[in-house]
Amino acid sequence: MKNLFVLAPLIFAHRADDPDVVRRALLAFAAFCAASSAIYLVNDLGDRESDRRHPLKRLRPIAAGALGVGTASATALLLLSGAAFAARALGQRFIVTLVAYVALNLLYSFVLKQLVILDVMSIAAGFVLRVLAGAMAVDVEVSNWLLLCTTFVALFLGFSKRRHEIAVLPPGELGSRAVLEQYSATFLDQMINVVTASTVVAYSLYTVDPATAARLGTSHLVWTVPLVLFGIFRFLFLLYRKSDARSPTDAILRDPPFLANFAIWGTVVLVLIYGG
């Protein structure tokens, strides 16, 4: 799901009606799916001991012992090889961005995830690299507004996930993730408030920017702002009001109101941009 950000430049650059461009975008999407899957395996290999002490993560295949270390390592190498093979067809700039994404995530897996605030900011940087790579794959200039919106949304999701983690883990078990001991519910609520407002403001300004209207051929994108607001409010509802061991980013994928709102937003955006 996170790799759908790779396709954002395709949609918002008004290029989704070109079959060759769509093919390149889907190849970029596949390359990032392979690379990110390899990173998840590497991360779970490194975290397998601490994951076994987590109420939910202990069920992950590697932590649970259902997937062997050797098999997971070989699969990660195979996936990285597949990502590299796909990247070769998308140009030098895409290759460099994909390598930067892999390097950043390896650094996160072994260093950055233990550093308060930088752990979430590095996750957000990964989303930005996805968007940049998607733009490079289809050879378009990425809007600064799109980069800002991506950054704020990623920070919003990252801090919300940390807020959920410290809420579901008993105080004595926060040691399973050392960085969680450096966060508090109050501090994370403040961070969430900042990035929530920033996300709404950035997206709203993007929709009313004359340059956006000129690029997309519509000045009516502002009508999607209420849908974005509902999506954010529904996410916060799931974060604060629902008692669920799953992270809120997992919960929204099973929440009918959120999914319906997302489908409506996507449909309206496509109609406004490509409906003539």
Domain ranges of the chain: 1-142, 143-276
Predicted confidence (pLDDT) per residue in 6-38, tens digit: 999 999 888 888 899 999 999 999 999 999 999
Nearest alpha-carbon partner for 29 in 135, 139, 145: 135
- Calpha distance 113→39 (Å, rounded): 13
DSSP 70-88: HHHHHHHHHHHHHHHHHHG
Q: What is the mean pLDDT of residues 230-259?
A: 85
Q: Span 192-212, mean pLDDT? A: 95
CA dist 59 and 145 (Å) reads 39
What pLDDT, on a 0 to 100 scale, did the predictor assign at position 8?
93
Least confident segment among 56-65, 127-136, 178-187? 56-65
pLDDT at 246 over 80: no
Angle between helices 225-241 and 185-208 (to 10 degrees): 170
Reported as a pLDDT band with limits 50, 70 and 90, residue 215 is confident
CA atoms within 13 A on the CB side of 237: 10
Average pLDDT in the 110-129 region? 94
Is the separation of the CB atoms in 231 and 268 below 8 Å? Answer: no
Q: What average pLDDT does range 53-67 have in this prediction?
A: 78
Cβ–Cβ < 8 Å for 251, 47: no
| pTM of the predicted structure, to 2 decimals | 0.88
Q: Tokens representing 228?
A: 């974005």
CATH label, 1-142, candidates 1.10.1060.10, 3.20.20.60, 1.10.357.140, 3.50.50.60 = 1.10.357.140
Give the per-residue pLDDT at 63: 83
Distance (Å, rounded) from C-alpha 28 to C-alpha 221?
Answer: 27
Mean pLDDT of the chain: 89
**Residue carrying the six token digits 């590497």:** 42
pLDDT attached to residue 191: 96
Tokens of 31: 């390359």
Q: What is the pLDDT of residues 124-142, one digit of tens each?
A: 999 999 999 999 999 998 8
